[in-house]
Structure 1
Amino acid sequence: MSPITEYATLLDTAALNGEAVEQFDREGRLSLDDAYAIQAASIACRIARGERRVGVKMGFTSRAKMIQMGLSDVIWGRLTSSMQIEEDTSVDFGRFIHPRVEPEIAFILKAPLAGDVTAPEALAAVEAIAPALEIIDSRYRDFKFTLPEVIADNASSSGFVIGPWHDPHVDFSNLGMVMKIDGRPAQIGSSAALLGHPLRSLVAAARLSAQAGEPLQAGWIVMAGGATPAEWVHLGQYVSVEVERLGSAGFRVTR
């Protein structure tokens, strides 16, 4: 078994069973190409079990976070059908290891989008935008990892909730966003935190997914990245996000 397959199987099993594993690249020596190869192989395990690809998620879309991690570009992960949680329903806490949640903006595409596109070209491919929440859940013990490890682990993506879809031709460059836990504000931010404009995240998604040979498809969802720091999720909580002009999305954590 190659190291790529070995690590992919390790991470897939951890996600499937909701059990943490030890880091395997503590020194960060794994190349980013190999890290993405592990991610792709891990997601292939899910597809083989009957899941469907439904889109991509973007990570490290904050300039400050990129600088902190020594990056010149965002990272990305793959979304599958089992990761989508219906809005305002319950999610089983037992499927996660140590989940956190971030407020986001989501796109759904009406046309394929690939390569080096402009922001207007990206917008032309968008059918609608929505308020969203992403549940991130590192498969590594204590939520500790190197950059290659988090990429290999599907950029920590574990679940997502999408609110009501809206016409994308409203100005969504700087929308106020409030994430609440049990009705109390936990994080307050703006859609401008996403690379200065969420469309830039979509442009990056088109470029990076095409480079991987998996161009964005019509009907796919693109999660634009966390607009604020993540919050821990605990059993029994109701988590929601309210986005100016776009409404809200939420879920409850049960067992």
Structure 2
Amino acid sequence: MTIPNAVQAVHVRPKLRALADALWAAQQTRVAIPQPSTTTNPGLTVTDAYAVQGANLARRYAAGEKPVGHKVGLTSLAMQQQLGVDEPDFGVITDAMVTANGGTVDPATMLAPKLEAELAFRIGSALSVGPTLEQLRAAISDVAVAIELIDSRVEDWKIALVDTVADNASSAGIVVGPWAPATDELLDSLPNVVVRLLRDDEEVAAGPGSAVLGDPLVALHWLAGAIGAYGQSFKPGDIVLAGAVAASVPLDPGVTWSATAEGFDPVVVHSATAQ
């Protein structure tokens, strides 16, 4: 996995570098910034926003983090309506963002964290830039239920598409359940699989795979094309999240969270108690 080519633009665009700096500082201090597209960066384009995202990913890599996959976000109508956007976006997952199944996350290390129930995919073989849907399907080795932690370095989650793109698609972390082999039968069933998010065993959100662009594989195919525009492609071992099947919920402290779906073992994560 490589850093998007658009990152190079940041080196000659001081205003974009300033936005990357502001988002980076917000992450470190846990003090959110005003919505960039309506304050400091009016006219921010999607291309500019991905350049800002890439600049802060470069900082992560320089600090020793390693990319382990991708996320596609805003693929469900529920999430688009919740955040007031009208198209998907994508971000990068690093090893520092991964919590083991059954592990604990601390909401106090984030600004305004939320959780989403999703399906995750593991890529088993290399793909070219811009693969066909059939090539993508054949390259998937495993599928799992996952929980994505999202967070916004922008005040009060008041974001347009370009704001969340610049903020690495508002990502914060992932927890992936046990992998199931990606048989044809399993992949065919995914639009009808209902993924449920539970808060201390009480269901708080649920949605079918079809909520994600009609089929999670369609979402992955969109993502393959989107990263392909930056010369990137899925690599063996990559973890790819297809997007939330339902609206997100706040990451309350002191709770055991789980996501379940028929045919899959559950994924579990605990949120630390507030100090």
Do both share a fold (TM > 0.5)?
A: yes
Contact 2:45 2:162 in 1 (8 A): yes
Q: What residue is the counterpart of 2:53 in the other structure?
A: 39
Shift of 1:127: 1.4
Q: What residue is the counterpart of 1:189 in the other structure?
A: 207
Match of 1:102 among 102, 110, 116: 116
Q: What residue is the counterpart of 2:76 in the other structure?
A: 62
Report the count of equivalent residues. 254
Poorly superposed stretches of 4+, deviation over 4 Å = 63-70
Report matched runs for 1:113-124 at 5 Å.
113-124=127-138
CA distance in 2, matches of 1:90, 1:214: 32
Alignment partner of 1:172: what SS?
A: helix
Contact 2:198 2:259 in 1 (8 A): yes
- Using structure 2 for the length normalisation, give the TM-score: 0.87
Contact 1:14 1:20 in 2 (8 A): yes
Unaligned 5+ segments in structure 2 are 1-12
* Residue 228 (structure 1) aligned with residue 246 (structure 2): yes
Identity of aligned residues (%): 31
Alignment partner of 1:218: what SS?
A: coil
Deviations 1:99-146, CA, capped at 9 Å, x for gaps:
110000001111223433332211111110100000110111112122
Moved more, 227-236 or 28-37: 28-37
The one-letter code matched in structure 2 to 1:173 is P
Match of 2:152 among 138, 142, 147: 138
Shift of 1:63: 4.5
Contact 2:142 2:180 in 1 (8 A): yes
CA, structure 1 residues 235+37, in 2 after alignment: closer, same or farther (shift >3 Å)? same
CA, structure 1 residues 63+189, in 2 after alignment: closer, same or farther (shift >3 Å)? closer
Alignment partner of 1:178: what SS?
A: strand
Shift of 1:64: 6.3
* Residue 243 (structure 1) aligned with residue 261 (structure 2): yes
Shift of 1:65: 5.3
Moved more, 168-177 or 153-162: 168-177
Moved more, 79-88 or 211-220: 211-220
Alignment partner of 2:191: what SS?
A: coil
CA distance in 2, matches of 1:213, 1:2: 24
Unaligned 5+ segments in structure 1 are none
The one-letter code matched in structure 1 to 2:229 is Q
Computed over aligned residues only, the root mean square deviation of the Cα atoms, in angstroms, reads 1.8
Q: What residue is the counterpart of 1:157 in the other structure?
A: 171
Shift of 1:23: 2.1
* Residue 49 (structure 1) aligned with residue 63 (structure 2): yes
Contact 2:79 2:248 in 1 (8 A): no
The one-letter code matched in structure 1 to 2:35 is Q
Moved more, 7-16 or 93-102: 7-16
The one-letter code matched in structure 2 to 1:147 is L
CA distance in 1, matches of 2:21, 2:59: 8
Moved more, 225-234 or 204-213: 204-213
Alignment partner of 2:117: what SS?
A: strand
Shift of 1:201: 1.1
* Residue 20 (structure 1) aligned with residue 32 (structure 2): yes
The one-letter code matched in structure 2 to 1:237 is V
Report which of the two has the higher share of helix.
Answer: 2
CA, structure 1 residues 176+70, in 2 after alignment: closer, same or farther (shift >3 Å)? closer
Alignment partner of 1:173: what SS?
A: helix
CA distance in 2, matches of 1:18, 1:251: 22
Alignment partner of 2:47: what SS?
A: helix
